[in-house]
Structure 1
Amino acid sequence: MAHSSTARPKPGGVTISVTDLRINLAKHLELAYYQSRHFLVERNHQPFVAILGIEEYRRLLRAAGEAGGKP
C-alpha cells in the first residue's frame, strides 16, 4: 500500500503518493489543467505515472513528432 506523504518539490513538478492522489484527485487535476502544474505519482516509493495538463501533453506530442519520435 502506498504511504501518504507531503508533496515534495521536484524540478518542474511535484511528487505525490497514490494515496494523496486518491484523496485529492480533483485538486490535482484542476492544478494540472488550470495552472499547468504537473505531478509525478509514486507507488511504493517508485515512480508510477505522471499527470500533466492537456496543453503540456499536446506540446510534448508536437515536440516528439518534430524530433521524429513516436508519442
Structure 2
Amino acid sequence: MKRNFKFEEHRKRLPDTFKQFYEHLESLTYKSHLNYDHLQQIIKDSLPDDINDRTPYDWEDRGSVDTVAGTMD
C-alpha cells in the first residue's frame, strides 16, 4: 500500500494546511535547508484564534499532574 500511495489522488480531501505543508516539502531539493519557521507558521495560521502555545490538550486535566503511580493535585 505504501508503494502505491499517490498523494495527488488524496490531495483534494486534505485541509489547506496540509496542502501548503506538503507543497513546501515537495519544493525542497536534497541540498535544501528546511525552513522550520515557515512550517511552524503554516500550522499556527491554521489554528483558531483562541488556541496558543499554552493551551492545554483536550486530554490534560488542568490543575493536576499525572505520574506513574497516579494523579497528584
TM-score (norm 1): 0.26
Structure showing greater relative contact order (alpha-carbon pairs closer than 8 Å, 6 or more residues apart): 1
Q: Which has the larger radius of gyration?
A: 2
Quick check: which one's strand share is greater?
1
TM-score (norm 2): 0.26
